[in-house]
Structure 1
Amino acid sequence: MGMIATKENEIKLYYSSETPIGKQAYAYVSSSKKKVSAIDVSKTKVPGSHWVEIAHGLNLEVQKLINRNHPDFIKQYGNKTIDLDQHDWLRILESHPETLAFPIAITGTKLIAIHTPSDFVKYIDSDAKIG
């Protein structure tokens, strides 16, 4: 990883405590035996460079990190498909972090998109088998 400092024995979790999946992800990640560094994006401003690095690590475009069905996104941009550049998508994440589509866990060089709590549970199970 580049800008985001990570360690193999630590899990860095980007999540929103204002969403059910964020709360569940935090609970599951906290149950890990590894040290957890949780970044609640609803309370901590995350720089655009980190979002770019996260998107790249997940092999996604930055816009895929945003929940376009979130009420705040719809209020601002409507239900229509919009065409923005990466800088504009980053501004949305920075200005409206509650629109983060899913929590992201990082450990070492591995990034895990957590769409359901079982996504992280599968990771813990496979990681335990490896280590």
Structure 2
Amino acid sequence: MGTIARDKREIRLYYHSGTSLGKQTYAYVKASEREIRAIDLAKTHIPGTQWAELASGLDKKIADLVNTEHPSFVEAYGSQNPSLDEHDWLRVLEKHPETLAHPIIVMGSNTHSINSPSDFLEYMKIDSRGQSKT
């Protein structure tokens, strides 16, 4: 059992309000007709277990969640690919949540990385029975 509450009627958005992608994605999600639980990483600490669960839901490594070109990352770890293990990558996200590469949405059992705000619309398309895809 995971640590993230999952409800098919709710959209859980993990984003950082200090990034333009985060702000734009939040606006798209807020405009949807579903219940929203927005987790702004600028204000809310996310424990390592949740980061690990999000990465697993995306079928990615924790390192894949980090934007290694973000100025905070470069300042702390350099511009070369640092040799970090999984726990080190968790610490990066815990100490520098602004380095999250892309907002993440959780809708029921589905987890999606949002590379552009319009990606969210793809996940909200309605099928022929009037039910959302996810």
* Shorter-normalised TM range: over 0.9
Where in structure 2 are the equivalents of 1:1-131 lying within 5 Å?
2-125=2-125, 128-129=126-127, 131=131
CA positional deviation for 1:56 = 0.3
Across the two proteins, how many residue pairs are aligned to each other? 129
Displacement over 4 Å in runs of 4+: none
Q: In the aligned structure 2, how far is the partner of 1:85 from the partner of 1:42?
A: 24
SS in 2 for 1:73: helix
* Structure showing the higher helix proportion among its residues: 1
Report percent identity of matched pairs.
48
SS in 2 for 1:67: coil
Q: In the aligned structure 2, how far is the partner of 1:64 from the partner of 1:42?
A: 20
- Compute the TM-score of the two structures, normalised by the length of structure 1: 0.96
- Compute the TM-score of the two structures, normalised by the length of structure 2: 0.93
SS in 1 for 2:124: helix
Superposition RMSD on alpha carbons, in Å? 1.0
Q: Which runs of 5 or more structure 1 residues have no equivalent in the other structure?
A: none
One-letter code of the match for 1:31? A
